[in-house]
Chains A and B, each alone.
Chain A
Amino acid sequence: MPRLSVVEPLSVIGGAVERGLVYLGGVAQLLGRAFAHAFTSSLKRSLSYQRACHQAMVIGVGAVPVISFITFFIGVIMALQGAYELKRFGALHLIADTVAISITRELGPLVTAIVVIGRSGSAFAAEIGTMKVTEELDALETMALHPIGFLVTPKLLAMLVMMPCLTIWADLMGVLGGSVFGVTGADYTFGTYLSATRDALYMRDIITGLVKSIVFALVITGVGCQEGFATGAGSEEVGRSTTSAVVTSIFLVVLVDLVFTAIFYVTGGA
Chain B
Amino acid sequence: MDVDGPIISGRDLRVHYGDREILHGVSFDVQPKETMVILGGSGSGKSTLLRTMVGLEKPTSGAVWVGGTNLAQASAAELDEVRKKIGLSFQGGALIGSMTVGENVALPLREHTNLEASTIEVMVRIKLEQVGLIQFQDFMPSELSGGMKKRAALARAMAMDPEILFFDEPSAGLDPIVAAGIDSLILNLKQALAVTIVVVTHELASAFLIADRIIVLDGGHIVAMATTDELRRSTHPRIQQFLNRVPDSEVSDDVDHLRLYTDRI
The yes or no verdict on A and B being binding partners is yes
Residues on A close to B: CB < 8 A?
42-44, 47, 127, 130-131, 134-136, 138-145
Question: A-B contact count, CB below 8 Å?
Answer: 59
Considering the chains assembled together, what is the distance between the CA atoms of A109 and B224 in angstroms?
64
Q: Is B83 an interface residue (CB 8 A)?
A: yes
Considering the chains assembled together, what is the distance between the CA atoms of A141 and B95 in angstroms?
13
Considering the chains assembled together, what is the distance between the CA atoms of A15 and B55 in angstroms?
34
Nearest CB of chain B from residue A150's CB, rounded to whole Å: 9
Nearest CB of chain A from residue B240's CB, rounded to whole Å: 33
Q: Is the CB of B96 within 8 A of A144?
A: no
- Chain B residues whose C-beta falls within 8 Å of the C-beta of A141 in the assembled complex: 55-56, 83
Contact of A42 among B55, B80, B91, B107 (CB under 8 A): B80
Contact of A136 among B81, B91, B94 (CB under 8 A): B94
Q: What 0/1 readout, one digit per residue, does chain B (95-114) give for beta carbons within 8 Å of chain A?
A: 11110000000011011100
The 9 closest A-B pairs by CB, nearest first: A139-B94, A144-B83, A135-B94, A144-B80, A142-B88, A143-B108, A135-B90, A136-B94, A142-B54
Nearest CB of chain B from residue A49's CB, rounded to whole Å: 13
Sample (30) of A-B pairs whose CB atoms are under 8 Å apart: A44-B111, A47-B110, A47-B111, A127-B98, A131-B96, A134-B92, A134-B97, A135-B90, A135-B92, A135-B94, A136-B97, A138-B51, A138-B90, A138-B94, A141-B83, A142-B54, A142-B56, A142-B83, A142-B86, A143-B83, A143-B107, A143-B111, A143-B156, A144-B80, A144-B81, A144-B83, A144-B84, A144-B108, A144-B111, A145-B111
Considering the chains assembled together, what is the distance between the CA atoms of A134 and B91 in angstroms?
10
- Chain A residues whose C-beta falls within 8 Å of the C-beta of B96 in the assembled complex: 131, 136, 139-140
Considering the chains assembled together, what is the distance between the CA atoms of A51 and B153 in angstroms?
22
- Chain B residues whose C-beta falls within 8 Å of the C-beta of A135 in the assembled complex: 90-92, 94
Nearest opposing residue in chain B for A54, CB measure: B98
Contact residues, B36-71 vs A (CB, 8 A): 51, 54-56
- Chain A residues whose C-beta falls within 8 Å of the C-beta of B98 in the assembled complex: 127
Number of chain B residues close to chain A: CB under 8 A:
28
- Chain B residues whose C-beta falls within 8 Å of the C-beta of A145 in the assembled complex: 107-108, 111
Residues on B close to A: CB < 8 A?
51, 54-56, 77, 79-81, 83-84, 86-88, 90-92, 94-98, 107-108, 110-112, 153, 156
Considering the chains assembled together, what is the distance between the CA atoms of A181 and B95 in angstroms?
53
Considering the chains assembled together, what is the distance between the CA atoms of A142 and B84 in angstroms?
8
Q: Is the CB of B90 within 8 A of A139?
A: yes
Q: Is the CB of A43 within 8 A of B97?
A: no
- Chain A residues whose C-beta falls within 8 Å of the C-beta of B156 in the assembled complex: 143
- Chain A residues whose C-beta falls within 8 Å of the C-beta of B94 in the assembled complex: 134-136, 138-139
Known A47-B111, A135-B91; 9 more pairs at CB < 8 Å: A43-B111, A44-B110, A131-B97, A136-B94, A139-B153, A144-B81, A144-B84, A145-B108, A145-B111
Q: Is the CB of B88 within 8 A of A139?
A: yes
Q: Is the CB of A136 within 8 A of B56?
A: no
Nearest CB of chain B from residue A145's CB, rounded to whole Å: 6
- Chain B residues whose C-beta falls within 8 Å of the C-beta of A142 in the assembled complex: 54-56, 83, 86-88
Considering the chains assembled together, what is the distance between the CA atoms of A127 and B97 in angstroms?
9
- Chain B residues whose C-beta falls within 8 Å of the C-beta of A136 in the assembled complex: 94-97
Nearest opposing residue in chain A for B108, CB measure: A143
Nearest CB of chain A from residue B107's CB, rounded to whole Å: 7
Nearest opposing residue in chain B for A136, CB measure: B94
- Chain A residues whose C-beta falls within 8 Å of the C-beta of B83 in the assembled complex: 141-144
